[in-house]
Amino acid sequence: MCGFLVLLNGAARNRSQSLPDPGTALAHRGPDASGHLALAGPGWRAVLHFRRLAVVDLDPRSGQPFGSPERGVLVYNGEVYNAPHLRELLRKRHVRFTTEGDTEVLYELLLQPDAPRLLDQVDGMFAFALVLPDGEVRYGRDRLGVKPLYAAADATGRMVALASEIEPLRAAGLTGDADPVAVAQGAMFLWTPPPRTGWQRVSAVPAGTVLSRRAPAYDEALTWWRAPALPPAADIAAAVRESVARQVRADVKVGLLLSGGLDSTWLAVELLREGFTGPAFTARPRTAAAGTEPFEDDAPYAARVAHELGLPLTWVDLDVDVLRRIPELVTTMELPFGDPAAVALMQLSRAARGEATVLLAGLGVEELFLGYERYQAVLLLQQLPAWTRPTLGAATLVPAPRRYRGRADKFGRLLQLGARDWSWATQAYYSGREWAELSPLVGLDAITERHREVAGAVLDAGGTPLAALAECDRRLFLPGLNLLYGDRASMRASVELRVPYLGEQVVAAALGTAAEEQLRMGDGKARFCAAAVASGVPEFVARRPKTGFGAPVRSLLREHGDRLWTEVRRSPLFDDLFDRHTADCLVAEHVHGRRDRGLAVFGLLCAAVWWERYVAGGAGRTAEVLSGYEAAGTG
């Protein structure tokens, strides 16, 4: 697991002299070693910077940039889990290896005449850039976008840089102006749908794709490889077992994030079969949750799981007062982002770093096996005749019990919309009318365009609304939210986060079944749950109600929102982009208990900090207020 920066042409010439090591902005991604190399040819120039977190083959010979100017030079971030198999395949082609690492395996694979076909066989998470002797650059990401990669372009569309994070691009002056649409998306969804990033000249490289750009202009991007459809695999249990067996291998200590939920418990079961002895890290709140908000503590479940499986636990006490950690969250995530779950993972990763360099986590199951409530909602919606939906939508305006009111309101909004809008509306924190009042400058069409594009392609091809939602989640939500914060939160602590449920075998087992067959009404990810129990996951885990991974944001804001908002509302965000009066009303609704708007308010706080940091010129008043805030009774 590593980080890299590739500068091209003018960016390479100018920045390599004014910034001796631009890669220092990526030091947290690779504290073990660094490498730099300058390449040049007729009319082109490239400078490669690399930071290494040594996980597999700790020998310095596996350091990067890897290769030679005569054959090509590679910088690569990630892990190829089936590298031993690919190594033997290449040896049969008389390839000679000088290291035991996966970097050399990927390098030699990419130089084979049939490299795109061989890339089909890679099981791993990766982002890489390969500079060939003639200056051509090939760059890309794994199937689901587990590892990040960003491309910066100049005003003419010519690529000028590639990087694992955005900060080195920003520091080099290559990002251009802020993108108001992306900031608006961060407020609407709490994350930014790719390829937008928050900056007008930086885009996320598409997942599951390798692109090629030729020297010297680096203007036209040609698709060199696209991840093929996987052959269906029916046996989920066998797929999970094989994926865990591959991903537990490392030359450093490997740990597990254990919540006591279905996904992490199944990982624990399979890890124990592989001889795993820990450490397993479990979070517990340092203090009681604020107010009366139902905030489930995973600790009792994790303790029971550990006892039944005979697995020792390492407890991590979390500070659940996440409001004061918003400035750190904004800096770490880089993109417009507002999901408080990332704060918990940031704390877990820091605590684990002293005992493990690699952590296994259960991310990705909900998206692959349809575990979120929104899938149940859309399954019901598509079974209703279209003519009945508006009438039923009006009926949902009847007051519901408080605990169900938010769900009833959202379902009522979905009934008023068409199938092409369900994919974005199930994830939105504002209705269309509310958004028009909050954001008169950035319209709803702009921020939902990417969702409607992905969903529309599925529907136009004859797919169901549920299939369209699942495709949106795999292509947008998974890389834009969960995988983004998984990468940023762990790598900020110099820890590699591995996600066995996104191994190629498990993805094949999930995508080989129609979306409707993954669900039973009222029973999300039914096939996955049955396979987990058959594999040894205790029944009490399977019966445990699903809870979110996060913090008691609603209660904290209800108790302290008035005091904080008095200062936050002065942010220039509400002069430049959002309507201050509408935001005032939103906060008042939540603080006075008229309606739960906690996460929407949290998203506005994050957006205000982001805007002040990246648009208004540095740490502003909002960051200062939040950093200095401390709720009574927190330690």
What are the pLDDT digits (tens) for 218-228? 999 999 999 99
Is residue 15 very low, low, confident or very high in pLDDT (cuts 50, 70, 90)? low
Would you state the pLDDT for residue 534?
A: 96
Mean per-residue pLDDT of the chain: 91
350-402 pLDDT, tens digit per residue, is: 999 989 999 999 999 999 999 999 999 999 999 888 777 776 665 554 444 44
Residue 16 has pLDDT above 50, yes or no: no
121-178 pLDDT, tens digit per residue, is: 999 999 999 999 999 999 999 999 999 999 999 999 999 999 999 999 998 999 999 9
Mean pLDDT (whole number) for 5-25:
74
d(CA 152, CA 159): 6
Residue 194 has pLDDT above 70, yes or no: yes
410-436 pLDDT, tens digit per residue, is: 888 899 899 999 999 999 999 999 999
Mean pLDDT (whole number) for 68-94:
97
d(CA 288, CA 633): 9
Name the more confident of 72 and 300. 72
Q: Are strands 222-226 and 209-213 parallel, antiparallel or unpaired?
A: antiparallel
Would you state the pLDDT for residue 522?
A: 62
Residue indicated by tokens 């960003």: 150
d(CA 90, CA 86): 6
DSSP 472-483: HIIIIIIIIIIH
Tokens of residue 488, six digits: 């940023």
16-53: string of b/e by CB count within 10 Å (b at 16+)?
beebeebbebbebbbebbbbebebebeebbbbbbbbbb
Nearest-CA neighbor of 340 among 513, 28, 554?
554
Would you state the pLDDT for residue 401?
A: 47
Name the more confident of 46 and 233. 46
Nearest-CA neighbor of 126 among 66, 56, 54, 78?
78
With a CB cutoff of 8 Å and minimum separation 6, the contacts of 363 are 482, 483, 486, 497, 499, 501, 502
Would you state the pLDDT for residue 391?
A: 67
> Would you say 185 and 196 are in contact if contact means Cβ atoms under 8 Å apart?
yes
The dihedrals phi and psi of 203, each to the nearest 5 degrees, come to -135, 155
d(CA 553, CA 602): 7
Please give the DSSP secondary-structure letter assigned to residue 271.
H
Would you state the pLDDT for residue 517?
A: 84
Phi-psi region of 387 (alpha: psi -120 to 50; beta: other; left: phi over 0): alpha
Q: 226 has which bridge partners?
A: 209
Mean pLDDT (whole number) for 610-623:
87
| Cα–Cα separations (whole angstroms), residue 503 to 3, 340, 515, 530 | 21, 26, 19, 19
Q: 223 has which bridge partners?
A: 211
Residue 375's Cβ-count burial label (10 Å; 0-12, 13-18, 19+) is buried
Tokens of residue 81, six digits: 């889990």
Residue 112 has pLDDT above 80, yes or no: yes
Q: Kindly state the percentage of the chain with pLDDT values over 90.
A: 80
> Would you say 411 and 396 are in contact if contact means Cβ atoms under 8 Å apart?
yes
Sheet holding 66-68, edge to edge: 66-68, 72-80, 124-131, 137-141, 209-213, 222-226
Is residue 406 very low, low, confident or very high in pLDDT (cuts 50, 70, 90)? low
